[in-house]
Amino acid sequence: MINMITFLSLILLVVMTQITMVSSNNKKRTRHHSGSSGSLDNEGPLPQECASVESTSSSLIKARALQSPPAKAQRKGDFESVDFWIQHETLLKDAWLEYGPKVPQLYNYETDNRTSTFHERFEQDYIDPKLRDVVNNLVQTSSRQTTGIGAEDKDVKNQAIFESTPYQIASGVYALPNLFTKKFCQDMVRELNHLNDAGIPVRRPNSMNRYGLILGEVPGLKANLDHVVQKYVIPFALHLFPESAILSDLVESYAFVVRYADGEDLDLAVHRDSSVITLNVCLGETFEGGNLGFESWDERDQFRYSHTLPPRNETVSFEPGMTILHRGAQMHEALPLKSGKRVNLIIWIHGKDGHVRYAPYEKDEQEHYSVAWTK
């Protein structure tokens, strides 16, 4: 009898122990709330909750934790620390998406430029309204001529306005005074300062400039500018430099920002760009000095590869809001900045896969700028 009681006691003890363990485990897996903060107990969230939290915040946190390699080379720095940037490319893009924009209308997240259009406010806010109206009328005229409807029509007035918009400020260098609005420059500077505060590693923009930003590495930031290039810049390029480019030479672009400031880059040595045509916009901010030096253009210059400018050098005072257009082959330099900070938006326009053609076109090979609106 005693043995039977002992046996039953043992069974009861085992059962109670199991109940206690289950109760303890359930307690560990119970989520406890403290007011509206949703704080968890000391055991933390469930595994699936951990995955959810990590998926919404880890890209930015991980990107900020990376040790960004310093940019050192002032020439031939294209492949500096290239393994780091390749390894973390996806993480960095996810981090930018998570961080988000300050000025949303600068962005366009459509990935196919053949079907996408400007952000609904970009062209309205950032392209000079008079130029926008002129180009829209010329686009419509070109479309009618292509379809055979009203093919005899020629918008002479708008053609004259378009063709007279750029003016030469140095040999081979043209200013486009009515392309971007003042608001565009201001909003770009605001956005760039916002991105600079993100704590996300930023790659050097090109082989010579060490400080700035590659716009294509921030999702959505380059797409609207691609439309500006296609609709406005390429027609101007074909009009101003008919012997240097036809439409097939201008199908891709590389957009980036460079920054000159005390403790960073102050100048840029004589060079030519990796482009057929270069667009350069002075976004600001406040500075003294930093003029641009250009070698006077001569057709023979594009085949000469010296890195010293002859006495024919011409200087351009680069003021905030100013936009210039020149051949990538034209030798030029950024003269020393004396004080302040200067930020430039630069777009290199070239052929497919970065192809840059140097040989000039004969007269019968050149293309009228209207082909940019019909092909």
pLDDT, one tens digit for every residue, the chain (375 residues): 445 444 444 444 444 444 344 344 443 333 333 333 333 333 333 333 333 334 456 899 999 999 999 998 888 888 889 999 999 999 999 999 999 999 999 999 876 555 557 777 899 999 999 999 999 999 988 876 654 445 445 689 999 999 999 999 999 999 998 899 999 999 999 999 999 999 999 999 999 999 999 999 999 999 999 999 999 999 999 999 999 999 999 999 999 999 999 999 999 999 999 999 999 999 988 899 999 999 888 655 554 544 454 545 788 888 899 999 999 999 999 999 999 999 999 999 999 999 999 899 999 999 999 999 987
**Cα dihedral value 351, 327, 181, 259, nearest 10:** 90
Instruction: Evaluate whether 331 touches 295 at the Cβ level (below 8 Å).
Output: yes
| Residue 222 and residue 316 in contact, taking contact as beta carbons nearer than 8 Å | no
Radius of gyration of the chain (CA): 30
In a domain, 67, yes or no: no
Q: What is the pLDDT of residue 312?
A: 55
pLDDT at 299: 58
Domain count, the chain: 1
Closest residue by Cα to residue 350 from 272, 262, 284: 272
111: exposed, middle or buried (Cβ count in 10 Å: 0-12, 13-18, 19+): exposed
* C-alpha pair distances (Å), 322 with each of 40, 53, 174, 175, 372: 55, 46, 11, 7, 24
- Does the residue 68 lie in any domain? no
- Residue 73 has what pLDDT? 86
Residue 103 lies in a domain: yes
CB 122 within 8 A of CB 223: no
The DSSP code sequence of 45-106 is S-HHHHHHHHHHHHHHHHHHHS-PPPP--SSS-TTTTHHHHHHTHHHHHHHHHHH--SSGGG
Contact status, residue 322 vs residue 281, Cβ threshold 8 Å = yes
Residue 22 included in any domain: no
Residue 348 lies in a domain: yes
In a domain, 239, yes or no: yes
The pLDDT of residue 55 is 46
Residue 10, in any domain of the structure: no
Residue 288 lies in domain:
86-143+152-360
Q: Which two tokens stand for residue 251?
A: 């199908």
CATH number of the domain enclosing 101: 2.60.120.620
For 354: left if phi > 0, alpha if psi spans -120 to 50, otherwise beta; the answer is: left
Residue 364 has, within 13 A of its CA and on its CB side, a CA count of: 0
- pLDDT in the model for residue 78: 85
Question: Which of 57, 160, 67 lies closest to 99 in space, CA to CA?
Answer: 57
366 domain-assigned: no
In terms of Cβ atoms closer than 10 Å to its own Cβ (0-12, 13-18, 19+), residue 280 is: buried
Task: Name residue 278's amino acid.
Answer: T
